[in-house]
Amino acid sequence: MSDAIINAQKLKKVYELPAEKIVALDEIDVGIRKGEFVAIMGPSGAGKTTLLNLIGCLDGPTAGSLNVLDHNLSQLKERQLVLLRRGNIGFVFQDFFLVSSLTALENVELPLVFARMQHKNGKAADLLDKVGLSHRLNHRPFELSGGEMQRVAIARALSTSPQILLADEPSGNLDMKNARSIFDLFRRFNEEEGVTVLVATHNARLAHTADRVIHLADGKIESEEVLKNG
Amino acid sequence: MKLLMIAFKNLKRRKLRSLFTIGGVAIAVAVLVSLLGFSAGYKKALTNDIDKMGYQVLVTAKGCPYEAATLMLKGGGGLRYMEQDVYNGIVSDERIDKATPQLIHTVYDPDRLDGRGGFALYVGIMKSHLELKPWTKFKSGKWFTKDDADEVIMGFEAAELEQRSVGDKIFIPGIEKILTVVGIFERTGTQDDGVIFLPLKSAQQLFDLKDKISGIGIKLKNIEELGQFEEDMYEVPGTQVISMAQVKGTFLNLVSSAKVLVTSVAIIAVFVAAIGVVNTILMSVFERTQEIGVMKAIGASKLDIFRLIWMETILVCTLGGIAGNIGALLGGSIVERVVKGLLPYAPEGQIVLITPTALLTSLIGAIILGLVAGIYPAYRASSMRPIEAIRSGE
């Protein structure tokens, strides 16, 4: 795929446990184009999270090559991986993982602090406005509902204006209504801001709101569905 | 928002635990401030006590008797002199607080002691004599009118013995000179009571000892330097050093004991506080493993995490330092009472002297404690691999 901003060739990840070896990804080839909205589906243990972690520079592959934004990740040092992740990749987790001592606004500002972009703090409030939480800026996570917390997490993931948004089971802890609104947000940011979105999900209905669905099973790509041609 | 704010908010998250840790540091700092205050106050109070004893060192010409009793046993003779230049040389030593030269001379007076005859002890002095013996007060009269006046000031007993009062004239047999009594000192309970004082210059002229002196009384700025000062004085040719050995020994022992006590307790207090801080912050790091992993995932570098945890530790210690300083200031009088009750010999005056230096030193000490105690927890946190940290909660 020539215009891919994520390109994996024969990507393999093996976890070596004391008792056994677990092949989480087994020599898969994946290409994601800029501006694509891709859903990754599969049962637990299929390798969805592993794939997102490798693309997000949180983990390294056992074999194969992985290029993200024209960087061969296996050639980058830890510091370079941090810089690549910090400026270009946003994360959304199933459990939200908001910092409980900080308000919604401060949580969204957090990546800006690490990226030394405090001068863009105004963007945090804008993002919270875009996700419909302008009235919750100064609420702490425990004062928010699950859906609201996930929307804060999305705003946080987008605060440094990343090119890629990785979401690992973002609707896993939400009811259908909230889950749908989260996917609507992904679609909105994908279309309006041009953010490339990769979402791992169990939910087939939600997955089919994406441009493309990659089905993983036992670390291999089982099938692909193209739902919308870009 | 800054890292410092994040660190502060995290401490607020576990208020009670943070308060206990801050309290631990505060107690250590309060102990440190009180002990430093005790060390300084005790030293000052003891120094004041010593000050009342006059000079700490007497430098005399080699072989010269320096005590009235010895002088009398030697029949008023055996006096030796050194050049006044020795005084001029010594007085510029930076360790010296005050110094005063004196010229001792004895004159046999056949009319003394109801005609049985005896030695009168004359001592030429300068006004610095009064600075070194501040308890010397005038019973009547005043200081000499000039540096070379033909005047005397009589010690209490010398005046009593000869039934002298201010304005009287005294005759020095052998010298054939008449001097005017311009003052009489109050009783001091020392050998000075039997002495007839006259201006140093006048004594040098009268006794034909131009530019000669018998000794120099010296008080040092810091009595702890007495040993080294004595050593140095032995190098001055033709002189001998007589120190108040007993006083010096007692003093130095007391100060050294106080210092050992202060240092030991302070080390223990700081050590205990450091363990408490490391424990608390480390516990907090382990509890936040997942959060630290997420922070790394959203852009924090190793250094960011290290700084964040380090800041938390420094914050705890700084707040503890401030609280400890306040505690020490408020509880100073209680410590004073307790310490005075415990000490076998407590000098007069305030013995726990909490100075700005002690407060600042302790605060800086607390910050350094934070810097050191924070290294390991910060290192542990920064070394966490994001994936493993995030998964730790699963």
Assign B113 a pLDDT band (cuts: 50, 70, 90): low
CA distance B296 to B289: 11
Search chain A and give the residue with CA nearest B384.
A58
Confidence of residue B76 (pLDDT cuts 50, 70, 90): low
Flag whether pLDDT at B311 surpasses 90: yes
Determine, for residues A59 and B297 on separate chains, whether the beta-carbon distance falls below 8 Å: no
- Give phi and psi for B307, each to the nearest 5: -65, -40
How does pLDDT run across B124-165, given as a tens digit for each residue?
A: 999 888 888 888 889 999 999 998 899 999 999 889 888 889
Work out the minimum CA distance from A212 to partner chain B, whole angstroms. 25
Q: Cβ contacts (< 8 Å) between A87 and chain B: which residues?
A: 299
The stretches of chain B forming alpha helices (DSSP H) are 3-13, 15-51, 68-73, 84-90, 128-132, 156-161, 200-206, 226-233, 245-287, 289-297, 302-342, 356-373, 375-382, 386-391
A136 close to B (CB below 8 A): no
Q: Token digits for B310? A: 């380090």
CA distance to partner chain B, nearest, from residue A228 (Å): 30
pLDDT digits (tens, 9 = 90+) for A20-44: 888 999 999 999 999 999 999 998 8
* Minimal Cβ distance to B294: which of A78, A87, A97: A97
Distance in angstroms (rounded) separating the CA atoms of residues B278 and B378: 10
Interface contact A160-B3, CB threshold 8 A: no
pLDDT value, residue B65: 60
pLDDT in tens, A45-88: 889 999 999 999 988 899 999 999 989 988 888 889 999 998 89
Task: Write down the pLDDT at residue B232.
Answer: 83
Decide if B167 contacts B206 (C-beta within 8 A). Answer: no
Residue numbers in A near B294 (CB within 8 A)? 91, 93, 97, 99
Average of per-residue pLDDT values in chain A? 89
CA distance B41 to chain A (A): 45
Q: Give the A window 50-109 contacts with B, CB below 8 Å.
A: 53, 56, 58-59, 78-79, 82, 85-87, 90-91, 93, 95, 97, 99-102, 106, 109
Q: What is the mean pLDDT of residues B15-22?
A: 90
Decide which of B2 and B66 is more confident: B2
Candidates B203, B185, B205, B204; CA nearest to B195 is B185
Determine the residue among A82, A142, A165 to mutate to test chain B binding: the one whose Cβ has the most chain B Cβ atoms within 10 Å. A82
Domain ranges of chain B: 3-49+251-391, 63-237
Chain A closest CA to B315's CA: distance in Å?
16
